[in-house]
Amino acid sequence: MSDLSDEELIARCAGGDRSAMDVLVSRYHGKLLDFALRHLGDRETSADIAQTTLVRAFQSAGTYRTKATFKTWLYTIAFNLVREEFRTRSRRKESLLSVLEDRGELAPQEPADDRSPEDLAIGRIASQALWRAVDELPEQHRSAVILRFRVGLNYREISVVMGAPSGTVKSWVHYALKALRKSLEPTKCEG
Amino acid sequence: MVSYVLGDLTEDMARACQAHLDRCANCRETVASFDNLISAIASEPETMPSAFESAALAAALAQFHVHRSAVAPALQEFSGFVLASVAAFAVVATVVALQSLGVVSVVSVVTAVGPAALALTVVAVIFISSFLPIAVTARRRPLNGMTFRG
């Protein structure tokens, strides 16, 4: 079962195959939670969105058509929920970094490696700086970057998810990368 | 340089860019910083669902599963047949009741309307068996007891 493609699995889900659902859940629950959390910085809402995305996908399994990949279709559902959440709260200006720091939600996700505590601390600071910079990007640029580099979609797939032309998506990604590099440039010591 | 890093250049342009990079340390540094940035975004450890979040999802999907695959198909398979049988029984019971009251005799009813009644009964059974499952499916709520965001 686990060697089947997403598209084959969702077809089985349409027939009520429970084990096919389980495989898709194991593949996407964490990724959807991560996707929502990188946008919203709010664990409870993000978990809610991840769950709703999967439930809606299974509910609509019978209507899935292979014009888009399952992954694109799934992230379209998730992206719309995230966008709706932004509208609902009118982007409560709560920075992603402050949420992560306050709740320590990403802290337990440290990889189990043999780095020293100092290296781990430096890595954590670098990570916080990175996501602070991502959080400061315009909303569409941030989504394009997350979909491109964390989710791994190509421009055409992102254009389907975000409902924007591919060329526009490409320019968002370019702009965002330049902005991120600029804001993460090390400050020169003048002492 | 961003286009080069993202692989958005044509083959000719990429080759020209590579030739420039071979002799320009500043641009090599720029490309390296974009590569590092992309790598940092992509390699950040994925957020894992907690046990509670996984259990909540499993509970929601369990409801969904039972509703779709156990109850509804059973209803769809047998409901038409059951309803048609009840209708046929009602017709027979009515005729028997009328006979017992002395209003009509079974023999005269069968003789008079037998062929037509038989044809009508067959059509009714086919019709009910075909369309009732669709009606049951249409009435079925998508996710019993679940609430959706947004």
Per the CB < 8 A criterion, the answer to whether A99 and A42 are in contact is yes
Residue with tokens 């993460």: A184
CA-CA distance, A32 to A40, in Å (whole number)? 12
Would you kindly state where each structural domain of chain B is located, as residue ranges? 2-43, 51-139
| Contact between chains at A111 and B149 (C-beta distance less than 8 A) | no
User: What are the pLDDT digits (tens) for B73-98?
Assistant: 445 455 566 666 777 788 778 877 87
Residue B135 has what pLDDT?
46
ipTM above 0.90? no
User: What are the pLDDT digits (tens) for B98-132?
Assistant: 777 777 666 676 676 667 777 777 777 776 666 55
CB-nearest to A58 from B40, B46, B64 is B64
* Residue A190, in any domain of the structure: no
Domain coverage including residue A125: 6-106+114-183
Q: Does the pLDDT value for residue B36 go beyond 80?
A: yes
* Residue A177, in any domain of the structure: yes
Residue A23 has what pLDDT?
94
Whether B41 and chain A come into contact, CB under 8 Å, resolves to yes
Residue B150 has what pLDDT?
32
Q: Which of A118, A121, A13 minimizes the C-alpha distance to B69?
A: A13
* Residue A14, in any domain of the structure: yes
Q: What's the burial of A169, exposed, middle or buried (CB within 10 Å: 0-12/13-18/19+)?
A: buried
Q: Does the pLDDT value for residue A6 go beyond 70?
A: yes
HSE, CB side, 13 Å, CA atoms: give it for residue A47: 15
Q: What is the number of structural domains in chain A?
A: 1
CATH code for the domain in which residue A94 is found: 1.10.1740.10
Prediction pTM value:
0.67
User: What are the pLDDT digits (tens) for A46-95?
Assistant: 999 999 999 999 988 888 877 789 999 999 999 999 999 988 876 555 55
Highest-scoring range by mean pLDDT, A28-32, B8-12, B13-17, B145-149: A28-32
* Residue A1, in any domain of the structure: no
Confidence of residue A171 (pLDDT cuts 50, 70, 90): very high
Residue B131 has what pLDDT?
56
* Residue A67, in any domain of the structure: yes
Task: Report the amino acid identity of residue A66.
Answer: T
Highest-scoring range by mean pLDDT, A127-136, A173-182, B1-10, B23-32: A173-182
Contacts with A16 from chain B: Cβ below 8 Å:
65, 68-69, 73
CB-nearest to B143 from A55, A152, A174 is A55
CA-CA distance, A178 to B4, in Å (whole number)? 13
* Residue A128, in any domain of the structure: yes
